[in-house]
Amino acid sequence: MLVGDLLWALVGGTVVGFLGKWLAPGDRDDVPLWITILCGVGGVLLGNVVYTSIFSATTPGLDWWRHAWQIATAALLVAAAATLTGRRRR
């Protein structure tokens, strides 16, 4: 893995993490930033795995359907992280 690939994964994971946090059901503002970024990177990786196992891995141009899968996976991961961190307001 090249340094450029790692940087793209972090930048893309951050964007996908914030989109997933925005789409996650309920109030997810209490999830820390670093967990949101990890959920985004995980959403990119897991979304790609699920997408390529179901659909063709080679599509011409920008693959919006793949990105939708990544964001949905990140939303699920953010929701799970919010449940597991268990932060509650009084």
Residue 51 inside a domain? The answer is: yes
64 occurs within a structural domain:
yes
Q: Is residue 21 part of a domain?
A: yes
- What is the spatial distance between Cα 47 and Cα 19, in angstroms, rounded to a whole number? 14
Q: What digits encode the pLDDT tens for the residues 17-31? A: 888 778 777 665 677
Q: What value does the mean pLDDT of the chain take?
A: 79
Asked whether residue 90 is assigned to any structural domain, the reply reads no
Structural domain span for residue 53: 8-85
Six-digit token string for 53: 């196992």
Rounded distance, CA 89 to CA 44, Å?
30
**pLDDT-flagged residues of the chain (< 50):** 90
Q: State the angle between helix axes of 3-23 and 33-54 in degrees (0 to 180), rounded to the nearest 10.
A: 100
In this structure, the number of other CB atoms found within 10 A of the CB of residue 31 comes to 21
> What are 49's two structure tokens?
């795995």
Q: Is there a domain that residue 26 lies in?
A: yes
pTM of the model: 0.76
State which amino acid sits at residue 15. Answer: V
Q: Does 2 reside within a domain?
A: no
Number of domains in the chain: 1
75 in any annotated domain: yes
Considering the domain boundaries, does residue 47 fall inside one?
yes
